[in-house]
Amino acid sequence: MARIELSAGPVEYEDTGGTGTPLVLLHGLVQDGSVWRHVVEELGEEFRCLVPTLPYGSHRVPLKPGAELTPPAMARLIGEFADALELGDDAVFVENDAGRLQQLAAERPDRVGRMVVAGCEAFDNYPPRAGGKMMDAAARIPGGIALLVRILSVRALRRVPGTGFAVMAHRPVPHDLIDRWLEPLLTEPEARAVLVRYLRSARKAEMAEAAEGLRTYDRPALVVWGRQDKMMPPEHGRRLAELLPKSRLVELDDCRTLIPLDRPDGLAAAIREFVAST
């Protein structure tokens, strides 16, 4: 893992290198860059895949004291990451689960040359449905996130239908990934504090405001959604595709929110075609 110093502190990232089109692959809360491992296997030889581990609770390097941890600040951090690596207009930003890329594109459209929104928070689905609302509620109770993480650390409980990671994927999320994502939250109070501060600072209207900004985003965009998604409504994918002036929509079967795990083949193929045609 490489490391880069940004305004909020150090951020670790994977860089496959090479001279291909840069792909900046962005994950959601209580995850790290490993959610993209199968997509990187598919695309890593023809593209330069840059996979940061963002400070969403599963990061392993402490941030600077007093770092701003609001969702808009995390959106700006993504732009700062691209600036620091001197990525040009040919870079393609791909986000799954979270909605920070939409906020960045609305605020700094010149920074996001092309973007792929893959099963993300959008419009009024924020926090997103049952899973997101449960995490948001836990963050507002002292010790709530610590308790939730301990529950998720019990492997048998991860498979309970309609809860946690079980609702986010069509196929069971591998235990080794969940173990990896939860480890910092189980062992580091700082990681839990970062997640709590982020969740408590989120505003309900943020994603609707970002959507309004996207109406004037005149760069190429791709919207990819799972047809069986129970957390991010498929109709939101269609609405985003209609909203973005230069967008196209791809819907994938046997797929929920965690598209990089459920359908890495379909997502990689869609990205490949999108880059080639734009």
- Residues 116-132 have pLDDT tens digits of 999 999 999 999 987 89
Decide if 11 contacts 81 (C-beta within 8 A): yes
Q: What is the mean pLDDT of residues 159-180?
A: 92
Residue 105 corresponds to which tokens in the numbers above?
Answer: 């594109």
Res 160 pLDDT > 90 = no
Helix (H, G, I), strand (E, B) or coil at 119: strand
Res 216 pLDDT > 90 = yes
Q: What is the mean pLDDT of residues 241-259?
A: 97
**Greatest CA separation for the chain:** 50
**Complete edge-to-edge strand list for the sheet that includes strand 92-97:** 2-6, 9-15, 48-52, 22-26, 92-97, 114-120, 221-226, 247-252
Long-range pairs for 187-193: beta carbons < 8 A, 24 or more residues apart: 188/60, 190/62, 190/63, 191/57, 191/58, 191/59, 191/60, 192/57, 192/145, 192/146, 192/149
Residue 12 corresponds to which tokens in the numbers above?
Answer: 């670790």
One-letter identity of residue 141: I
Q: Which residues, in sequence order, are CB contacts of 65 under 8 Å at separation 6+?
A: none
d(CA 278, CA 130): 36
Res 141 pLDDT > 90 = yes
Backbone torsions φ then ψ of 95, nearest 5 degrees: -125, 140
Res 52 pLDDT > 90 = yes
- Residue 247 banded pLDDT, cuts 50, 70, 90: very high
Res 75 pLDDT > 90 = yes
d(CA 118, CA 186): 28
pLDDT at 159: 86
pLDDT at 92: 98
Q: CA neighbours within 13 Å on the CB side: how many for 145?
A: 28
